[in-house]
Amino acid sequence: MTFTAAPALSGSVAVPGDKSISHRSLMLSALAVGESRVEGLLEGEDVLATAAAMRAMGADIERDADGIWHIHGVGVGGLLQPETALGMGNSGTSTRLLMGLLASHDLTATFTGDASLSKRPMARVTEPLARMGASFTTSPGDRLPLTMRGACPAVPLDYRLPVASAQVKSAILLAGLNTPGITRVVEPIPTRDHSERMLRGFGAELDVEVEADGTRIITLVGEAELKPQQIVVPGDPSSAAFPMVAALLVPGSQVTIANVGLNKTRAGLIDLLREMGGSIEVINPREVGGEPVGDLAVTASALKGVEPDPARAPSMIDEYPVAFIAAALAQGRSVFRGLEELRVKESDRIATMAAGLRAIGVTVEELEDGIIIEGSGGAPLAGGGPIATKLDHRIAMSFAVAGLVSRDGVMIDDMAPVATSFPTFVPLLRTLGALA
């Protein structure tokens, strides 16, 4: 598919439900006894992989005609042995969180994934979960496909995260749910806190202590009992990032993105774009389902280059690809560092973005832990392609946005991965008038 120079974008749109919260809604509801209801669930392939896995282990999960999801859980510790391998598709979150959940259940499960997921490191979860008593047979390099055997009872863990990862934190906390005693996770650099908020919401005894230097100490009392909940999932800020950057870059645009999750642990891109000179206004800030939410009014703006503090990385970890597109249109040079985690996402996002940006005429220097981008000062990018998206939804959407501000258009080799997180991406761009 080729994306070409767009006229000014206008209108009001809403993005689908938050992916992180959607996964957790299904997993925690599947562990509560009784019926939970989830409104606004992201119906993307990644979340549907989680739903299929929870069904395969005994939860009853149905979507009604109004789009509300109804989940009857089995109780903490009640998951059943799945009869076939759990197909995780492209979803690292499904894989790592479910490995945690199963680590304290008396069952054996095999996880498989697509070519992208099968390249991603799993030692970051197998190592702590093995200390809790689970055992793993992995493919070379601690990768998928892998088979795990849970431990019941598991041994509670006191763990300091060696990498800033909400998936690793969440895997350990989920394992702790069915583990006698207290599971403790020490998080030196804060990451998204949806697991903590939701575990508490479901009735688990969970405490967070924040030390003077910002280190978070999370304690969870095991053998928890979860109570069914009514959940409203806010719009995904990681999906809102694409129309947000598009509206800033396409001259004359004025766009409203409704119902966007604004949790501080996720909102780093908004801060960054504002520092670059972007006009983004939060309208009607409110709370939905225990999460801060607002509508974003975005007006096209001239941007300037930045050198963002790497400490901000976890709060916008999934937004760097589209932030690099914003930098490519900014005035001056941007230097992004401290981003080694980007090399183990759905693709190596430093290498994939560097190659794609070069292919559309942007001058970049790839660093071990980041990238240096020379901005065009607002002049359209040359364009070209096809861009190799490497089964990475966020690469595809980032270069689609680049196409809207290009001279010759940007061709994307494969838009199919977009269905993992943002199935309505192309129709949403059409609503804004971005597509011919």
Q: Give 1's DSSP letter.
A: -
Q: E strands, 262-375, where?
A: 279-288, 291-299, 333-336, 364-367, 370-374
| Region near ligand S3P per CB under 6 A, out of 1-9, 161-169, 372-380, 403-411 | 161-169
| 291 is a contact residue toward ligand S3P (CB under 6 A) | no
Q: Number of helices and strands (H, E) in the chain?
A: 12, 22
Q: Which is nearer to ligand S3P, 133 or 190 (CB)?
A: 190
CB 117 within 8 A of CB 144: yes
Query: What x/- string results for residues 71 through 110 when contact with ligand S3P is judged by CB under 6 A?
Result: ----------------------x-----------------
Q: How far is the CB of 163 from ligand S3P (least distance, A)?
A: 8
- Active site (catalytic) residues: 318
Question: What is the footprint of ligand S3P within residues 192-221 (CB under 6 A)?
Answer: 192
Distance CA(422)–CA(436), nearest Å, equals 20
| Region near ligand S3P per CB under 6 A, out of 108-116, 162-170, 244-252, 300-308 | 162-170
Question: Could you count the other beta carbons within 10 Å of the beta carbon of residue 79?
Answer: 27
| 165 is a contact residue toward ligand S3P (CB under 6 A) | yes
Question: What is the footprint of ligand S3P within residues 319-348 (CB under 6 A)?
Answer: 341
Q: What would the two tokens of residue 18 be?
A: 């938050």
Q: With the C-alpha atoms ordered 297, 302, 308, 314, is the resulting torsion angle positive or negative?
A: positive
Distance CA(200)–CA(177), nearest Å, equals 12
Q: Which is nearer to ligand S3P, 23 or 151 (CB)?
A: 23
CB 129 within 8 A of CB 150: no
Question: What is the footprint of ligand S3P within residues 104-143 (CB under 6 A)?
Answer: none
| Region near ligand S3P per CB under 6 A, out of 60-68, 99-107, 165-173, 324-332 | 165-173
Q: Which is nearer to ligand S3P, 253 or 389 (CB)?
A: 389
Contact with ligand S3P (CB under 6 A) among 6, 59, 157, 166 = 166
| 18 is a contact residue toward ligand S3P (CB under 6 A) | no
Q: How far is the CB of 167 from ligand S3P (least distance, A)?
A: 3
Q: Which is nearer to ligand S3P, 167 or 376 (CB)?
A: 167
Q: Which is nearer to ligand S3P, 103 or 432 (CB)?
A: 103
CB 192 within 8 A of CB 154: no
Q: Strand order in 216-221's β-sheet? A: 158-160, 182-187, 216-221, 206-210
Q: Which is nearer to ligand S3P, 105 or 192 (CB)?
A: 192
| Region near ligand S3P per CB under 6 A, out of 81-89, 166-174, 210-218, 225-233 | 166-174
| 20 is a contact residue toward ligand S3P (CB under 6 A) | yes
Q: Which is nearer to ligand S3P, 171 or 328 (CB)?
A: 171
The residues, ordered by sequence, that sit 6+ positions from 330 with a Cβ below 8 Å of its Cβ are 276, 303, 304, 305, 306, 375, 376, 377, 378
| 25 is a contact residue toward ligand S3P (CB under 6 A) | no
Question: Could you please report the per-residue DSSP string of 73-116?
Answer: E--TT-PPPPSS-EE-TT-HHHHHHHHHHHHTSS-EEEEE--TT
Contact with ligand S3P (CB under 6 A) among 291, 318, 319, 392 = 318
Distance CA(431)–CA(103), nearest Å, equals 44
Q: How far is the CB of 20 from ligand S3P (least distance, A)?
A: 3
Q: What would the two tokens of residue 266 be?
A: 């996720």
How many positions of this chain bind ligand S3P (CB under 6 A)? 10
| 398 is a contact residue toward ligand S3P (CB under 6 A) | no
Q: Which is nearer to ligand S3P, 18 or 295 (CB)?
A: 18
Query: What x/- string results for residues 400 through 419 when contact with ligand S3P is judged by CB under 6 A?
Result: --------------------
CB 100 within 8 A of CB 134: no
Q: Which is nearer to ligand S3P, 161 or 204 (CB)?
A: 161
For the chain, how many residues are written? 436
Contact with ligand S3P (CB under 6 A) among 5, 246, 247, 317 = 317
| Region near ligand S3P per CB under 6 A, out of 99-107, 144-152, 159-167, 207-215 | 159-167
| Region near ligand S3P per CB under 6 A, out of 59-67, 73-81, 160-168, 275-283 | 160-168
Distance CA(14)–CA(74), nearest Å, equals 33
Torsion on CA atoms 8, 10, 14, 15, rounded to nearest 10: 0
Torsion on CA atoms 307, 311, 313, 315, rounded to nearest 10: -120
Residues in the site for ligand S3P, rule: CB under 6 A? 20, 93, 165-167, 170, 192, 317-318, 341
